[in-house]
Amino acid sequence: MVGQMIFTGLLCGALLGFVMQRGRFCLTGGFRDMFLAKDYRMFYALLIAIAIQSIGVFALIQMGLIQFKSGSFAWLGTIIGSFVFGIGIVLAGGCATGTWYRAGEGLIGSWIALFAYMLMSAVMKSGVLVPVNEAFKGYTVPTNSIPATFGTSVWPFILILTAITLYLVVKHLRKPKVAIPALRAKRTGLAHLLFEKRWHPFVTAILVGLIAMLAWPLSEATGRMSGLGITTPSANILQYMVTGDSEKYINWGVFLVLGILIGSFIAAKASREFRFRAPDAKTTISSFSGGILMGFGASLAGGCSIGNGLVMTAMMTWQGWVSLSFIILGTWTASYFVYVRPRLQAKKQHSASVTVA
> Whole-prediction pTM value?
0.94
Task: Encode pLDDT of 33-70 as tens digits.
Answer: 999 999 999 999 999 999 999 999 999 999 999 999 99
Q: Measured at the alpha carbon of residue 92, what is the angle toward residues 91 and 96, in degrees to the nearest 5?
A: 130
Question: What's the distance, CA 35 to chain centroid?
Answer: 18
pLDDT at position 229 is: 94
Give one DSSP letter per residue of 78-135, joined into a string: HHHHHHHHHHHHHHHTS-HHHHHHHHTTTBHHHHHHHHHHHHHHHHHHHSTTHHHHHH
Task: Encode pLDDT of 181-211 as tens digits.
Answer: 666 777 778 888 888 888 999 999 999 999 9
Q: For residue 70, report the phi and psi dihedrals to the nearest 5 degrees.
A: -75, -25
Task: Quote the CA–CA distance of 278 and 313 in Å, as a whole number.
Answer: 36
Report yes or no: 335 and 319 within 8 Å, Cβ to Cβ. no
pLDDT in tens, the chain (357 residues): 788 999 999 999 999 999 999 999 989 999 999 999 999 999 999 999 999 999 999 999 999 999 999 999 999 999 999 999 999 999 999 888 999 999 999 999 999 999 999 999 999 999 999 999 999 999 999 999 999 999 999 999 999 999 999 999 999 999 887 666 666 777 778 888 888 888 999 999 999 999 999 999 999 999 999 999 999 999 999 999 999 999 999 999 999 999 999 999 999 999 999 999 999 999 999 999 999 999 999 999 999 999 999 999 999 999 999 999 999 999 999 999 999 999 888 888 877 776 665
